Chains A and B, each alone.
Chain A
Amino acid sequence: MPRLLDIGLNELVSITKRMSDTAEEAISMAVNAYFEGKNVRDDVYEKSMKLKELKDEVRDLAFELIMKYQPVAIDLRTIESTLDASYGFSRFSRYALDIADLTNKLGNLTECDHTKIKHALSIVQWMVSKSIEAFETKNVELAKEVIKKDDEIDEIYNESLTNAAQMGKVEDIRCVIADILVIRYLERIGDHACQIASAVGYVVEGKYLPT
């Protein structure tokens, strides 16, 4: 017979899954629209609000489970790390919204060279998707790979700053600003993916993986 607590924990997992799906959609939507010069701010905002609602649902359910069942050990760690992850997912959408805002604020940027952003995006999307996979499957090794990948995105961000500082005359300053900002937002998304990956260590082994 399943424990009553398991019914609640399964519900937590289900909400978290909805959050991760919504967060991934928000990032893809924002970045693709940026490349294509489309304004999707309202759509991303909607997803962001949805994630906020789901984050509140996770928090309410987590506290209800703590109140009702006083969970311990892996049950308690699962609840704690789900709270961590739900915060991370909501932050994904926050940065997706920042990216979507750029087209609004800086105008159409389709003529800019997106090579660096695309490279950064491919790394961050991998980190996001694998951090979610590691969280859902409690895969510590995969979580460690996600955390290792963070150095790459940090390096791209630092490089973009250095390059901008060394630029002489530029054709379109908007491209330089957008380049730095988008990579900065992606770098922050990568940081939150690392936090989610780190929490996998806490669920499985009782210790957060170092980030």
Chain B
Amino acid sequence: MKTKIEIRNLNVWFNKRQVIYDVNLKVPEQAITAVIGPSGCGKSTLLRAINRLHDLIPEAKVKGEVLLDGKDIYKEDPLVVRRKIGMVFQKPVPFPSMSIFENVAIGVKLNDLAKKERLEKIVERSLRMAALWEEVKDILESPATSLSVGQQQRLTIARTLALEPEVLLMDEPTSALDPVSMKKIEELIVNLKNDYTIVVVTHDMRQAARISDFTAFMYEGKIIEFNETSELFRNPKEEITEKYITGRIS
């Protein structure tokens, strides 16, 4: 499989505390890569390094390379990087004063990427891709906060998709959701891999096993093991991976 993102010797510090150590990882294109590991192991920090979110934190220092299609994102305009590499967070954060339509359109508007007629098409397409169109097509002007939490999460996915990214990063995208909403988001993620490269950080190993093609196991800031998901969960090579996924360490 073609590599979409290549992480080389990545190290991250917050002030003097190092949280990521020499991470090397090749993320395959148009596949779902899950990152699992215990709380505080550096999963979310790694994900945020992939779209330069640490740039916004003064005490954060990043060293190493993150190549998107062979080009180091740390040598590109961060705004362009974040358009190509979209991020979905744990809790859906719709803009409360905006309608459903505006919530999806806002990124495109701010980047001045489309005229009004095209904007409508982009919003519809994004909502369709996020499997939300049928539920909201008649209430597009209603406030986004009127939606359920599960719908709001699909709305934030639609907002990310509206910018036509190449990569989707998802940081525990279902941890705030009920089982039915979680199932919908999981189905959505699996459908989206036909068009996007997806990296999902999850504390839910069963979710990683259900939806991902590849899994990276992180422990104490390091990638311990990376393999096809079915192989990693059935026959892990490293003892520490085995202990973690079988619940013998937490």
Chain A: residues with CB nearer than 8 A to chain B?
Answer: 3, 5, 70-77, 206-207
Contact = CB atoms under 8 A, between A and B. Distances in A.
B111 interface: no
B245 A73 contact: yes
Nearest to B236: A73
A3 B236 contact: no
Contact of B242 (A5, A70, A73, A207): A73
Interface in B83-99: none
Contacts of B245: 72-73
Top 8 A-B pairs ranked by shortest CB distance?
A: A206-B235, A72-B233, A72-B245, A73-B242, A73-B246, A70-B206, A75-B246, A73-B236
Nearest to B205: A72
Contacts of A71: 246
Contacts of B209: 70, 72
Given A70-B209, A74-B242, A76-B233, 6 more contacts: A3-B247, A70-B206, A72-B209, A73-B234, A73-B236, A75-B246
A71 B233 CA distance: 9
Interface string B21-45: 0000000000000000000000000
Nearest to A202: B235
Contacts of B241: 73
Interface of B: 205-206, 209, 233-236, 241-242, 245-248
Given A70-B206, A72-B209, A77 B235 contact: yes
Contacts of A207: 235
B183 to A, nearest CB: 15
A84 to B, nearest CB: 15
A206 B245 CA distance: 15
A95 B76 CA distance: 72
A210 B33 CA distance: 33
Given A206-B234, A206-B235, A74 B246 contact: yes
Contacts of A5: 247
A76 B209 CA distance: 13
Nearest to B242: A73
B10 to A, nearest CB: 27
Contacts of B235: 73, 77, 206-207
Contact of B234 (A3, A70, A76): A76
9 contacts: A70-B209, A72-B234, A73-B234, A73-B245, A73-B246, A74-B246, A77-B234, A77-B235, A207-B235
A159 to B, nearest CB: 40
Nearest to A205: B235
A100 B246 CA distance: 45
In this complex, the member of A3, A5, A73, A76 whose beta carbon has the largest number of chain B beta carbons within 10 angstroms is A73
Nearest to B237: A206
A71 B247 CA distance: 10
A191 B75 CA distance: 63
B232 to A, nearest CB: 9
A184 to B, nearest CB: 36
Contacts of B242: 73-74
B247 A73 contact: no
Contacts of A75: 246
In this complex, the member of B236, B241, B246, B248 whose beta carbon has the largest number of chain A beta carbons within 10 angstroms is B246
A119 B206 CA distance: 51
B241 to A, nearest CB: 8
